[in-house]
Chains A and B, each alone.
Chain A
């Protein structure tokens, strides 16, 4: 044993929480949504999830090695990005597109900007939008075919297999078109959509876990959803229609976005006031995209624009140091 003592600066004690623990908690919180996605869309969803995660982790690993930096995959942030991205993809997406998305998220959005903590937009969401712009047809295709005896080739090809075929537009598109939607089905998740966004129940379970573990706070999701509801009531054209409102809350990527993407530490404001302003901003932007725009992908674009505006919100809402409140405002 060494004869020397450790001599370092105070403080000499540390809380047991680590970055890895936080990432692990987020992964656990996403498991209900992932499991439901696999149940709803079939084993191909599992394939997409695994392929995306592997693509993300591999990209980070090889980038670190190639740039001769310390390998950072051990903090599990790439796993979280991969999982989040996968949950934002349709189960029938060609696997090579999922890989492209994963590589884009990690290489372009995260590593080239400086790695963990330095990305200015949410990597998973940016990759989703990138794929959406590049491969609109496949990204907007939520059809899941029914094949009675699938073989390996069926899984790997473009088609998707599930026990019960699910066809048609997503509930949000239907809502926009003025049709009625089955709210219960939307809550449980037996509808079309990307792998992770259909089941409100599964997402809320995961969100509840994160709130209990104090990984996220209710500020951003609550103000986001509340602002959207108010916007939809005023401008949605249906007035105070409970079914319409619930349809908006449960539909699209709102719950996934509000609880898991908008709360990403790196891209959201740090102060309590800033987070509330951010939530309101996101609610208004999503409202504009959904009501005035063509309806879908509103959450994704709103959050990305929010990410870019975030530094402004942050610097405007930093708390004043204790005891200096009046002095500061006199300046």
Chain B
């Protein structure tokens, strides 16, 4: 039988060969560091410092203000320059703490201390994850300590590490699998400590053979962990697709993986958990892939959270020629930006520059070819949903399952008429959800 996979999906140009074999370089920040108070799903954090305060590496500068919220940790030592609204990756102006780096990297007490996680209680582990400010680092940014506290932890029988990295061009997760695989396994073991009935699965797409080999070697003697190879297809890394491919269980928009006995965490998040629990190191660093047709020296960088995107671009040699589009994230779900002067946050993953914008094509009428329906991983009919969306027919949209859409973008990618299906569907979906929240 072939490798596990899910219905629908697309095969894009991989783009990973540009950066996958280059080692990750550590890049120190040169300018100020900017920390938006909202880098996660949930309520924004509340600033704990004021202008003029001195801060240390690893110090909590923003406090999680609600149950679903997360701490903001300083990645450098220095002085608080300002607390003001700053431009972020999504184009919003968000309240941010700006820190002037003193380049000394003085750390808080206890930073980096080694701990034996086996001696910690479950509550202590969860608290360490919370204090470290860890959120879903795959891009969603859901507070991890909340995810690790489901209603009934005894019902969890699978902890799945999402090492699919299905977005084209991105290789940050891959480089971590090659360079720091022991941390992945360490982190997974920590999570398994919280869920006694669970087995661990590290799910990797088969376009990463070297990483699979390394992980399999390291888990050869781990009885509770297995490495599962999945067929390479976008969006294999989507939560619903991943749970289905690894365990055969189906989710819909109203269910969480915990409802079918699964906990899914991105491989970067798992490493962050390891660092927080076993090495007393909170979330202050991210690996960023700089790639695309317009970048001179595509590669991965290990940077401090809060660094300006422009510094990373400079370190990659800048652009070869003026790109038509710059994207934060992957080309399927990332944000197009109009400026590189935005800070790296917990949920940043990549900076891509493209000389030509493939999406800058005029729309033509829908010919009902049905390719969008064939490739939608959630078995929807995007052309019909987009038609309802354009007519503002929210009732029919919801009846046809429009709220199930996961924003993956397969429909727009594949449409021969170049219709912006994803955009129409997401817009209407957000409008319906906003109305429901108000009600």
Interface of A toward B, CB cutoff 8 Å: 1, 4-15, 17-19, 21-22, 72, 75, 77, 115-118, 265-266, 270-271, 318-325, 327
Contacts and interface: CB of A to CB of B under 8 A. Distances in A.
20 contacts: A6-B359, A8-B357, A10-B407, A11-B332, A11-B412, A12-B331, A12-B332, A12-B336, A13-B332, A13-B413, A14-B412, A21-B416, A266-B367, A270-B383, A319-B379, A321-B379, A322-B250, A323-B252, A324-B401, A325-B250
Interface string B379-390: 111011000000
Contacts of B324: 5-6
Contacts of A7: 91, 325, 336-338
B52 interface: no
Nearest to B423: A9
Contacts of B182: none
A75 B364 contact: yes
A9, A10, A19, A75, most chain B CB atoms within 10 A: A10
Contact of B369 (A8, A75, A265): A265
A11 B422 contact: yes
Given A8-B359, A12-B359, A14-B413, A116 B381 contact: no
A31 to B, nearest CB: 21
A14 B250 CA distance: 29
Contact of A12 (B10, B327, B368, B416): B327
B337 A321 contact: no
Contacts of A8: 325, 336, 357, 359-360
Given A266-B367, A270-B373, A322-B404, A10 B333 contact: yes
SS of B interface (majority)? loop
A271 B377 contact: no
A11 B380 CA distance: 17
B337 A19 contact: no
B297 interface: no
Nearest to A320: B379
Given A12-B332, A117-B417, 9 more contacts: A5-B324, A10-B331, A10-B335, A12-B354, A15-B413, A18-B418, A116-B365, A321-B404, A322-B250
Given A11-B409, A12-B358, A322-B252, A5 B325 contact: yes
A219 to B, nearest CB: 11
Interface string B82-95: 00000000010000
Contact of B414 (A5, A10, A15): A15
Contacts, number: 155
B240 A323 contact: yes
Q: Which 5 A/B pairs are nearest by Cβ-Cβ distance?
A: A11-B409, A323-B252, A321-B401, A270-B370, A9-B423
B233 to A, nearest CB: 14
Contacts of A320: 379, 401
A108 B415 CA distance: 27
Contact of A323 (B255, B322, B357, B420): B255
Nearest to B366: A117
A271 B370 CA distance: 7
Contacts of B412: 11, 14
B207 interface: no
B318 to A, nearest CB: 15
B370 A265 contact: yes
B4 interface: no
A10 B404 contact: no
B378 interface: yes
A94 to B, nearest CB: 33
Nearest to A116: B365
Contact of B326 (A5, A15, A75, A318): A5
B168 A13 contact: yes
In this complex, the member of A1, A15, A265, A320 whose beta carbon has the largest number of chain B beta carbons within 10 angstroms is A15
Contacts of B255: 323
B365 A117 contact: yes
Contacts of B414: 15, 17
Which residue of A12, A115, A270, A321 has the most chain B CB atoms within 10 A of its CB atom? A12
A253 B377 CA distance: 38
Interface in B393-439: 400-401, 404, 407, 409, 412-418, 420, 422-423, 426
Contact of B373 (A6, A271, A323): A271
Contacts of A14: 358-359, 361, 412-413, 415, 418
B104 to A, nearest CB: 36
A6 B240 contact: no
Given A11-B422, A12-B325, A13-B168, A265 B368 contact: yes
